[in-house]
Structure 1
């Protein structure tokens, strides 16, 4: 199951009903745009408790066409890498009964959407280079 950008916006609107939907859309789009621009520039994005996004370079190499066995030149490229942060990793691997806190009315399947940052004050997102 995947979550689309519009579903993310909907969930944020549900959790922050005092913020107009258009503002939530603008914020989500701005965050993703800034993240994209930082990654395009080769910068690393670290979201504490969530994870780290970084760009890695892959060298040019000679590959093989699996259908024909013929050698193929694969050009150099940049690829995106994500490493989950400690808090997210722990939540992913927690038993279903403890994934959501007992005081929370969040079902265990929705534990990832209830990271402590989600309902708190705005995050400061350190973008390191």
Structure 2
């Protein structure tokens, strides 16, 4: 498996695609991240065309087990961020 792209590498690639400097590309990436974070935190969802959908799912209270001790305890209800990958991306990776 290849190493994941770092933020610096992503900003550089984005700047190249946009024909802009790295400062503008970095600001655009930060703005997109901020918009996605605020929307998902508010309970909404964001669809990134060609990439997928980012949304928040609520999980109910449940019993879990500590694998080290085997003890069971009740875990409170919480929220979990999920990403559903777009079919177009899946198809392009598997082609």
SS in 2 for 1:35: helix
1:22 aligns with 2:23: yes
Q: Please show how residues 1-129 of structure 1 align to structure 2 within 5 Å.
A: 1-16=3-18, 18-94=19-95
- How far has the Cα of 1:76 moved from its partner? 1.2
Q: Deviations over 1:89-123 (max 9, x none)?
A: 101211xxxxxxxxxxxxxxxxxxxxxxxxxxxxx
Superposition TM-score, scaled by structure 2 size:
0.88
SS in 2 for 1:31: helix
Task: Select the structure that is richer in strand.
Answer: 2
| Separation in structure 1 between the aligned mates of residue 83 and residue 53 of structure 2, nearest angstrom | 6
| Separation in structure 2 between the aligned mates of residue 48 and residue 12 of structure 1, nearest angstrom | 16
SS in 1 for 2:20: coil
Q: Deviations over 1:13-37 (max 9, x none)?
A: 2223x31221111111001001100
Q: Which runs of 5+ in 2 are unaligned?
A: none
Q: Deviations over 1:54-94 (max 9, x none)?
A: 11011111111111111122121111111111110101211
Superposition TM-score, scaled by structure 1 size:
0.67
Over the residues paired in the alignment, what is the CA RMSD in angstroms? 1.3
Q: Which runs of 5+ in 1 are unaligned?
A: 95-129
- How far has the Cα of 1:10 moved from its partner? 1.1
| Separation in structure 1 between the aligned mates of residue 6 and residue 75 of structure 2, nearest angstrom | 31
- How far has the Cα of 1:4 moved from its partner? 2.2
